[in-house]
């Protein structure tokens, strides 16, 4: 039950990390909407899991833990929505990073 779920979660975290390692060169070599939206999803999920672990480690008590987790879900949802909005209505993540590097 719980042990298998934890193992699957750990495997998922590693898979997203490896996916991010592949998306970084892809963003440089072939930028486009597919890579932009994949980056938006993978970065949001990676950050969500990382901040979730910070909450697990440092937020104690039922009510503070629930409030922190609700805040995390709101933050993650807004982050993903913001990145998708940026990809759709602006230059996208790949080109934005390239523009920053060209400064």
Contacts 24+ apart (CB under 8 A), 21-30: 27/93, 27/94, 27/97, 28/94, 28/98
Q: Which residue has tokens 């990676």?
A: 46
Annotated binding site: which residue ranges? 46, 58
Annotated binding site for a ubiquinone: which residue ranges? 58
Annotated binding site for heme b: which residue ranges? 46
Written as six digits, the tokens of 80 are 């993903």
- Contact (CB, 8 A) for 48 and 22: no
């Amino acid at each position: 039950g719980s042990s298998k779920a934890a193992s699957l979660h750990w495997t998922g975290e590693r898979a997203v990390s490896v996916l991010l390692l592949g998306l970084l060169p892809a963003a440089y070599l072939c930028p486009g909407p597919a890579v932009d939206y994949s980056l938006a999803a993978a970065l949001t999920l990676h950050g969500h899991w990382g901040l979730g672990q910070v909450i697990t480690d440092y937020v104690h008590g039922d009510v503070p833990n629930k409030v922190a987790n609700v805040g995390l879900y709101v933050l993650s949802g807004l982050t993903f929505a913001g990145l998708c909005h940026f990809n759709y209505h602006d230059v996208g993540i790949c080109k934005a990073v390239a523009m920053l590097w060209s400064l």
